[in-house]
């Protein structure tokens, strides 16, 4: 079995991969034996209190599908906006983004900005998504296409996005938990991954949008305050001089001469600029089109409040991204790339290691800071994985179970939601535990590409092109999904490069790291081709849909008001 190499490519220096894999058997222990017991006890108490609160919130959820899925669209714009910002504080962004900045410098910095730009893309579509009155991908796809086919396609796309995201985040959570208890071994990582997954599955089976919103809102100030404190303490070690901190980060990086320049991230096939451009574009579109974000947008009170919520999320996420970048540079300066890579080559342990080094060993403040950082990581795991699982379960219950041609009661649909949440989370946990030791770069690339190529073109055509129809939607979605799978299998993330799943094999005829660079334009083309080769909706039908997307009301309502 190949050694775990994390989620980031090893940087390249002088044409050779710099080996960061000193790894994996407790080489580094940032907590220390003296502090471990109080840290673990405090962490377990926090987990218990958090779960008790979450189960209390879940007990107050309404047992109707609309109440669970959308909180009856009763969340205020500010509250929902803060919760939307909390959706961005995932294990993936919190740990891997900070680790990426720490290890690959400039390239990690630019990828951190993708999170913020993605919300800007979502802001452009937020009002139309809410005004449509739809809240799952199946609902949105059926806006211009009738029948079960679009809903089945939407459920498949949702699972294709969700399962890889859950796997990556659960593995990251397992690595962090194993580091916290001082056992960063393979067996401990698997055990921690399984335990985290079981906790999340328990809550995902009971959660609704309202309950997850409250914990997201609580997570935002805790995370921002913790990252601010850690970076200020790191800056204090350099006499409050940001320039000295950045210089130390460069000096302690794996490639000081390239750390603040583009290209430390591994390029492939001599197509560096185009490859980097594709990675960024697909990441932005993919992050913007995540099903759990679409569900939260749909839960807004109106189209205007959806835009207000998204703007609030943009501002708060901007602060979060800035703090992630400073945390990454601080980790590189205080801990050093070699020690970061000694625990995990992706640098996912950067925030916890930084928290363990900014205060003196043996001090009470150090124990408290490590504990708080561990609690922030746990909140990120619990909330984000629950949100992603919940969105997938809603899609299965609403788009598949409730549309199977038989009459279903609300109680039966809610039961289907609970079961779907457990099954989705169980599958993700099992795969994460089985495949954690393999390179996971291709999972992220595939998930982002599916969201970008299967959802973004379909929504753009549905909202803005009168000629779009059922065949166009099915061709675009199914073609985009198929191409993402094919391009992923034959990309440098699976074979033929140091970042690959099988680096020794060579069947990487697709030259780009992101399958979306080819799949997104192909999905747009297939959507156009399918639409122009089949009869489309009438002009009147599109105008009726367009009016609904712009105003949030039906044309008939306006006509009846005029007669009065």
3-state secondary structure of 152: helix
pLDDT by residue for the chain (564 residues), tens digit each? 344 444 343 333 333 333 233 333 334 565 666 666 777 777 778 777 777 777 776 666 666 777 788 888 888 899 999 999 999 888 878 888 888 888 888 888 888 888 889 999 999 999 999 998 888 888 899 888 888 888 999 999 999 999 998 888 888 777 777 777 767 677 778 888 888 888 778 777 777 888 888 889 989 999 999 999 999 999 998 889 889 999 998 888 888 888 888 777 665 545 667 788 888 899 999 999 999 999 999 888 888 999 999 999 999 999 999 999 999 999 999 888 887 877 666 777 788 888 888 887 777 788 888 888 888 888 888 888 888 998 999 888 888 876 665 666 777 888 888 888 889 988 988 888 887 777 777 888 899 999 999 999 999 999 998 888 889 999 999 999 999 999 999 988 888 777 777 878 888 888 888 898 899 999 999 999 999 888 766 566 778 888 888 887 776 544 444 444
The pair of three-digit structure tokens given for residue 61, joined into one six-digit string: 């959820």
Alpha helices in 465-514 (DSSP H): 470-489
Structure tokens at 272: 């560096």
For residue 462, give every residue at least 6 positions away whose Cβ sits within 8 Å of its Cβ, in sequence order, or none. 140, 141, 143, 144, 468, 473
Alpha helical stretches, state H, 105-208: 106-131, 137-141, 148-180, 186-204
- H helices of 335-395, in order, are 337-343, 350-357, 364-395
**Tokens describing residue 519:** 């799949």
Q: Which domains can be identified in the chain, with CATH numbers? A: 27-58+73-437 (1.20.1730.10)
- Using CB atoms within 10 A of its CB, is residue 365 exposed (0-12), middle (13-18) or buried (19+)? exposed
Tokens 């440098």 found at: 492
Using an 8 Å Cβ cutoff, are 116 and 93 in contact? no
Q: What is the pTM of this model?
A: 0.86
- 349: which 2 tokens? 């342990």
238 burial via Cβ count (<10 Å: 0-12, 13-18, 19+): middle
């Amino acid at each position: 079995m190949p050694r775990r190499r994390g989620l980031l490519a090893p940087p390249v220096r002088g044409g050779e991969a710099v080996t960061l894999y000193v790894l994996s058997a407790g080489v580094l222990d940032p907590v220390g034996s003296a502090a471990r017991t109080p840290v673990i006890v405090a962490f377990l108490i926090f987990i218990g209190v958090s779960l008790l609160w979450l189960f209390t919130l879940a007990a107050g959820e309404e047992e109707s599908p609309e109440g669970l899925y959308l909180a009856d669209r009763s969340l205020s714009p500010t509250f929902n906006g803060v919760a939307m910002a909390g959706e961005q504080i995932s294990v993936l962004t919190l740990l891997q983004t900070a680790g990426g900045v720490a290890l690959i410098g400039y390239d990690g910095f630019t990828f951190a900005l993708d999170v913020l730009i993605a919300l800007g893309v979502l802001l452009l579509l937020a009002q139309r998504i809410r005004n449509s009155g739809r809240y799952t991908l199946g609902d949105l796809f059926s806006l211009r296409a009738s029948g079960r086919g679009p809903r089945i396609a939407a459920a498949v796309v949702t699972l294709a996005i969700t399962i890889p995201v859950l796997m990556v985040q659960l593995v990251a959570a397992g690595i962090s938990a194993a580091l916290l208890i001082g056992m960063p071994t393979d067996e401990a990582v698997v055990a921690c991954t399984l335990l985290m997954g079981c906790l999340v599955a328990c809550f995902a089976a009971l959660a609704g949008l309202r309950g997850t919103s409250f914990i997201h809102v609580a997570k935002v100030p805790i995370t921002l305050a913790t990252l601010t404190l850690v970076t200020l303490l790191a800056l204090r070690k350099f006499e409050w001089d940001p320039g000295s901190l950045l210089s130390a980060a460069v000096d302690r990086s794996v490639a000081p001469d390239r750390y603040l320049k583009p290209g430390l991230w591994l390029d492939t096939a001599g197509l560096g600029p185009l490859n980097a451009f594709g990675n960024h574009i697909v990441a932005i579109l993919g992050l913007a089109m995540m099903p759990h974000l679409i569900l939260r947008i749909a839960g807004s009170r109106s189209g205007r409040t959806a835009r207000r919520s998204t703007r609030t999320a943009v501002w708060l996420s901007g602060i979060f991204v800035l703090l992630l970048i400073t945390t990454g540079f601080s980790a590189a300066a205080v801990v050093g790339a070699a020690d970061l890579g000694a625990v995990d080559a992706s640098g996912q342990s950067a925030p916890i290691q930084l928290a363990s080094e900014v205060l003196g060993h043996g001090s009470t403040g150090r124990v408290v800071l490590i504990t708080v950082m561990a609690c922030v990581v746990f909140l990120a795991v619990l909330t984000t994985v629950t949100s992603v699982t919940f969105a997938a379960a809603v899609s299965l219950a609403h788009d598949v179970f409730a549309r199977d041609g038989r009459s279903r009661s609300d109680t039966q649909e809610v039961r289907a939601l609970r079961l779907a949440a457990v099954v989705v989370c169980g599958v993700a946990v099992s795969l994460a535990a089985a495949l954690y030791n393999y390179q996971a770069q291709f999972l992220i690339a595939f998930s982002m590409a599916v969201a970008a190529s299967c959802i973004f073109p379909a929504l753009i055509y549905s909202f803005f092109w009168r000629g779009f129809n059922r065949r166009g939607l099915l061709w675009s979605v199914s073609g985009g999904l198929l191409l993402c799978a094919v391009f992923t299998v034959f990309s440098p993330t699976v074979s033929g490069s140091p970042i690959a799943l099988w680096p020794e094999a060579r069947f990487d005829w697709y030259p780009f790291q992101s399958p979306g660079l080819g799949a997104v334009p192909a999905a747009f083309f297939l959507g156009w081709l399918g639409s122009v080769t089949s009869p489309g909706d009438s002009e009147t039908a599109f105008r009726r849909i367009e009016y609904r997307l712009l105003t949030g009301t039906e044309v008939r309502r306006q006509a009846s008001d005029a007669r009065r």
